[in-house]
Structure 1
Amino acid sequence: MGDSFELFLFFNSDNSNVKEVLSKKTFYNALIIPEIEYSHLKYFLKDCCTSNINHYTNVRGLPSIEKIVSSVEDTPRPISTQIIGTIPEWINGNFLRNGPGKFEIGNHKFNHWFDGMALLHQFKISNGQVTYKSRFLSSDSYQTNKEHNRIAISEFGTVTMPDPCKNVFQRFLSRFESHKPTDNANVSFVTYKGDYYVSTETNIMHKVDPETLETTEKVDWSKFIAVNGATAHPHTEPDGTTYNMGNSYTSKGSYYNIIQVPPTKKTEDETLEGASVLCSIPSVDKTKPSYYHSFAMSENYVVFIEQPIKLDLLKIVTGKLRGKSISDSIFWDPKLNTIFHLIHKHSGKVSSIKYLAKPLSTFHQINAFEEDGFLIIDLCASDDGQAITNYNIQNMRKSGEALDEVYNTLSRAFPRRFVLPLNVDRETPYNQNLITRPNSIATSVRIAKNKVFCTHEDLHGEDLHEYGGLEFPQINYHKFNTHPYRYFYGCGFRHLVGDTLIKMDLCGKRMKVWEHPGQYPSEPVFVPSPNATEEDDGVIMSVVITPDEDKSTFLLVLDAKTFEELGRAVVPVNIPYGFHGTFIATA
């Protein structure tokens, strides 16, 4: 009686959120998904109604950002910066950044933001002073393109045209070649066994010297383990053991592989020797595996999120023949649930329990930890997964109403918490909320023998909507990754790129904001103070880019506790908006 009465009230409600839910395909898809049964449909409805579906906006008058997604020259020799305010003298080291820096080769233009040639940046900080330099990654893609003065290697959103120097028959045959993986590692800096690499999402990384930014060695994952790629977001244990994920494609289908890399080298010239596949998880659809950019890790588990962003492998294999790029083979399927897979890090055993949620898209997770028999996973997520294909260069360089239209069709990402019960066994009841944590709004309901349906809790107040949600999340990683924590940092997105820096306090879901009109900060990186005793005792570093000809790019340093500016290092050259970075402390 209670359940049916609640559903009656739902269908007859005048609430605007309810009306929006009823208008969405996701709702009707849910009604025919076997897992969404009558007895717990109310939890699904609650989840739909307590979050703004897709978080679309109606912004007008966005300024052009064309300049910050335009090609630049590299600056391989260090140049001095102008210090305004104070850079704390205890900060000594290299702040490294990675991202695209060249979007045209000769008369050829890349199509997607992710395609630009990797440009590595270094801010060397010492005794309150800062120098800057940058260098293009000396990848095969970069060198081949440079040699031919055209785009000769296909990228995520750009497929190469046949070499005009070949005869007609040779050009025809080249159409039947499959896409070769690019080594244009423009996403992040990562560490394995104490060495620094730059990475994208293919099977190829490059070892780099963090002091000179020179490319020293090309490293292929597939030479060590049977994977066709790996993420640019590994997780590292305190002892240096590193975990990552990568796909493999076999005659039996597609698999998601959990990778483990040992913490140290046996010889100086080692790279990925000793890497192993901890376990392999078959994709739900053998020919259409899910796309994933990263994963989460708690003290004992790797958490893989199989989301409804799908890769059509047949389209990828035939892409060059059809003149289509890999990005044309990615699609969003809102008919599918999201699935959380738990893998025990020490045994490699995959949990038989599958944790389901409504369709969501996530690129970056914030943190994951275990407490009181639950695994808590915090992530940035949206209710639509089509954004990845919309970040093409043409869209990002639009202006006026055309730019507004692009932004307003993109779903915004917001921080969310899922609470997964770890101790689900034959005695666990069905069709009731299993979460017993005090003050938790998230729900988990056992709906079948090995299935638990989960709804999330928002990790923010209504004020975050004013800032376009939050992405590029960061925490005090070395102290609090895999542990309960209080603070995280990120970029607000009132534009196609971040335009504010945000500090979120999980105690009360309060936030602090740094913002200046016309300035676009990069992913924030937390650097702890020496002998820090509190979680937010340190600084936040971010590279702030501007398209304004009268203003300069600068390295911003904020007090992580107060979120007030301490100082900035003004750079006299243009820097494009990039992706990810890291800080390497030196003595």
Structure 2
Amino acid sequence: MEIGASTRAMATEEKNRWRAKGLPCIAPLVSSVNETTVPITTEIHGHVPAWLSGSLYRNGPGKFEFGTQTYNHWFDGMALLHKFKIKGNQVTYKSHFLRSDSYKANSEHNRITASEFGTLAMPDPCKNFFQRFLTRFVMPKPTDNASVHFVKYKGDYYVSTETNLMHRVDLETLMSKEKVDWSKFIAVNGATAHPHYDPDGTAYNMGNSYTKKGAFYNIIRVPPEKTGPEDSLQEAKVVCSIPSANKNKPSYYHSFAMSENYVVFIEQPLKLDLLQILTGKLRGRALNTCIYWDPHQETVLHVVNKHTGKPSAVKYQARPLSFFHQINAFEEDGFLMVDLCCLDDGRVMNNFLIQNLRKSGEALDEVYNEMCFAFPRRFVLPLHVDENTPYGQNLNTRHCSLATAMKMSKDVVFCTHEDLHGDDLREYGGLEFPQINYARYNTRPYRYFYACGFRHLVGDSLIKMDLQGKKFKVWYQPDFYPSEPIFVPSPGAVDEDDGVILSVVITPIQGKNTFLLILDARTFEELGRAEVPVQIPYGFHGVYESEVLIPQGQA
């Protein structure tokens, strides 16, 4: 572990303070804010690297009530899109609420009219009793409140959530150009907000479909280029459909893994009860109440050849786990390494109810102490398993790897993971929002990844993990809460960690400003910060779009 003495002292002091007084209240981090549609200048402290020229785009919830009604869950807030434009040692900031159908209807009626993940919209009080009763028998429409991520298809950026609806956005204005429905192009009822990309720009994603035969997990491929000026998702194709182990109770998933030649779908025992979802409005229950954890069902890693669409005959099983984000996956020496941020149960989503995030003192401590945390783990999957493969012995022959893989039956290999961290990482809580040097090391062997440390319900530190020796470096300051770290490579970089880390750092403390943090990715020392004179809520994911041409071969 490589942690400066001052950082360690601050961490210990802060930990002792929490034990004595409880976790600090973070309610302002999940409070509604105003949009900033005209770019404003930030105040620079330190310096911005001269070569850093581009924009950081962030997405996340920014409005949590309409009229007297408040959303129940952090995931429900209306999408607020952010842009930090960086050029010539100057940084400007702007934001814009996505004018989704949900946002417009809620604003027009000054109440919550559209159901979200943890909030069921109530019938219009202006309707008579019979009309209100009938509306309970109508399936809630999927939300177009695309508050999770910026994603790229065929050169265009979209904001997305986990339904079948996205918005193609103008990166200059942050306004929606059009609403796009996946189901108009392919037979899916939704898609993740975490696609993967081949070097040529071909995108892969996962989406569910629900048929009379049951639920299926679909691997989607979107070609890299448009065929015409009006082309959006035309030529998108389902390359493989994987049937759910339980046709009426498919797994929930937020992301998936991809190597050079394979897509890996992790079917975790975090389940969607489709019958409960279908009857949710009648019962007055939101979607989040229809997801449950089944600790008696094993996790299955489905490996699919992404070129042929053919799934492996072997099912790789592991003990029950849940996860939101993969770190990386790559092939080497006949093995497929799959690195994930894993939890040992699936109850985490309901920790992020608004009522929990706005607690303080002992009540907040109680929520935190009951949480399960995500830690980085590696699964090693042997790719060449056949009838001659021996049973009951470890098939993982990789040097110094602690993961195991044993053939249990003709088509089942049971895998145990290797921790990608040492015990000293636990001082900083779990890890989430992992990022790598994606342009050069996605689907390839890699050494470093970056993440948020969680000693609170939201990230309170930034961590650089070095997989050689399982060491780490930390950026931490009391009362500041950094968001997902985005790696930006230096022009002409040779080393994997030659670049900077960008993270939007939020504070609930009056008199202190939110800022865009710039860290040297190699040393993890602060280079500079751009302070923003307006409040920004804690968000989810983002992307950096460079104005600097990357030399050929580094993209």
TM-score of the superposed pair, with normalisation by structure 2: 0.95
Output one character per residue of 1:546-567: Cα deviation in whole Å (capped at 9) or x when no partner: 0000100000000000000000
The equivalent of 2:14 in structure 1 is none
SS in 2 for 1:271: coil
The equivalent of 1:327 in structure 2 is 288
Output one character per residue of 1:227-267: Cα deviation in whole Å (capped at 9) or x when no partner: 00000000011111000000000111000000000100011
The equivalent of 2:489 in structure 1 is 528
| 2-structure distance, mates of 1:193, 1:462 | 43
Which of 135, 142, 150 is matched with 1:181 structurally? 142
| 2-structure distance, mates of 1:463, 1:376 | 24
The equivalent of 2:450 in structure 1 is 489
| 1-structure distance, mates of 2:153, 2:101 | 22
Structure 2: which amino acid aligns with 1:461? G
SS in 2 for 1:496: coil
| 2-structure distance, mates of 1:309, 1:59 | 35
SS in 2 for 1:122: strand
Contact 1:58 1:408 in 2 (8 A): no
SS in 2 for 1:172: helix
The equivalent of 2:243 in structure 1 is 282
Q: How does 1:564-575 map to 2 (within 5 A)?
A: 564-575=525-536
| 2-structure distance, mates of 1:436, 1:406 | 42
The equivalent of 1:155 in structure 2 is 116
Structure 1: which amino acid aligns with 2:291? I
| 1-structure distance, mates of 2:21, 2:59 | 31
| 1-structure distance, mates of 2:170, 2:497 | 30
Output one character per residue of 1:181-228: Cα deviation in whole Å (capped at 9) or x when no partner: 000000000000000000000000000011110111100000000000
Output one character per residue of 1:111-139: Cα deviation in whole Å (capped at 9) or x when no partner: 00000000000000011100000000010
Output one character per residue of 1:24-63: Cα deviation in whole Å (capped at 9) or x when no partner: xxxxxxxxxxxxxxxxxxxxxxxxxxxxxxxxx9996100
The equivalent of 2:162 in structure 1 is 201
The equivalent of 2:198 in structure 1 is 237
The equivalent of 1:376 in structure 2 is 337
Which of 421, 427, 436 is matched with 2:382 structurally? 421
Contact 1:288 1:313 in 2 (8 A): yes
SS in 2 for 1:146: helix
Q: Which runs of 5+ in 2 are unaligned?
A: 1-17, 549-555
| 1-structure distance, mates of 2:499, 2:281 | 49
SS in 2 for 1:304: strand
The equivalent of 2:552 in structure 1 is none
SS in 1 for 2:426: helix
Offset, 1:169: 1.1
The equivalent of 1:365 in structure 2 is 326
SS in 2 for 1:314: helix
| 1-structure distance, mates of 2:190, 2:309 | 20
| 1-structure distance, mates of 2:128, 2:138 | 16
Q: How does 1:30-429 map to 2 (within 5 A)?
A: 61-429=22-390
| 2-structure distance, mates of 1:307, 1:333 | 9
The equivalent of 2:500 in structure 1 is 539
Output one character per residue of 1:448-467: Cα deviation in whole Å (capped at 9) or x when no partner: 00000000000001111000
Q: How does 1:471-510 map to 2 (within 5 A)?
A: 471-510=432-471
Output one character per residue of 1:327-354: Cα deviation in whole Å (capped at 9) or x when no partner: 0100000000000000101000011100
The equivalent of 1:454 in structure 2 is 415
SS in 1 for 2:440: helix
SS in 2 for 1:254: strand
Output one character per residue of 1:473-526: Cα deviation in whole Å (capped at 9) or x when no partner: 000001000000000000000000000000000000000000000000000000
Structure 1: which amino acid aligns with 2:207? G
The equivalent of 1:30 in structure 2 is none
The equivalent of 1:45 in structure 2 is none
The equivalent of 2:391 in structure 1 is 430
| 2-structure distance, mates of 1:331, 1:226 | 26
SS in 2 for 1:238: coil
Contact 1:99 1:119 in 2 (8 A): yes
| 1-structure distance, mates of 2:169, 2:490 | 27
User: Is residue 515 of structure 2 the alignment partner of residue 559 of structure 1?
Assistant: no
| 1-structure distance, mates of 2:127, 2:262 | 52
SS in 1 for 2:152: strand
Contact 1:247 1:254 in 2 (8 A): yes
| 2-structure distance, mates of 1:551, 1:485 | 37
Structure 2: which amino acid aligns with 1:581? G
Structure 1: which amino acid aligns with 2:534? V
Offset, 1:371: 0.3
Structure 1: which amino acid aligns with 2:275? L
| 1-structure distance, mates of 2:495, 2:536 | 34
Offset, 1:89: 1.4
The equivalent of 2:547 in structure 1 is 586
Offset, 1:144: 0.5
Offset, 1:390: 2.1
The equivalent of 2:402 in structure 1 is 441
Contact 1:183 1:202 in 2 (8 A): yes
SS in 2 for 1:549: coil
| 1-structure distance, mates of 2:473, 2:172 | 34
The equivalent of 1:3 in structure 2 is none
Output one character per residue of 1:313-337: Cα deviation in whole Å (capped at 9) or x when no partner: 0000000000000001000000000
Structure 2: which amino acid aligns with 1:97? R
| 2-structure distance, mates of 1:444, 1:232 | 30
Contact 1:59 1:404 in 2 (8 A): no
| 1-structure distance, mates of 2:126, 2:101 | 20
Structure 1: which amino acid aligns with 2:458? V
* Structure 1 residues 554 and 259, CA gap change in structure 2 (3 angstroms): same
| 2-structure distance, mates of 1:203, 1:215 | 16
- Structure 1 consecutive aligned stretches of length 4 or more whose deviation exceeds 3 Å: 57-60
Offset, 1:442: 0.3
| 1-structure distance, mates of 2:454, 2:486 | 17
Contact 1:179 1:316 in 2 (8 A): no
| 2-structure distance, mates of 1:109, 1:265 | 41
Offset, 1:359: 0.3
| 2-structure distance, mates of 1:533, 1:242 | 26
SS in 1 for 2:132: helix
The equivalent of 1:26 in structure 2 is none
Output one character per residue of 1:145-193: Cα deviation in whole Å (capped at 9) or x when no partner: 0011000000000001110121211111001011210000000000000
Contact 1:60 1:404 in 2 (8 A): no
SS in 1 for 2:45: strand
Identity of aligned residues (%): 69
Q: Which runs of 5+ in 1 are unaligned?
A: 1-56
Contact 1:59 1:408 in 2 (8 A): no
SS in 1 for 2:289: helix
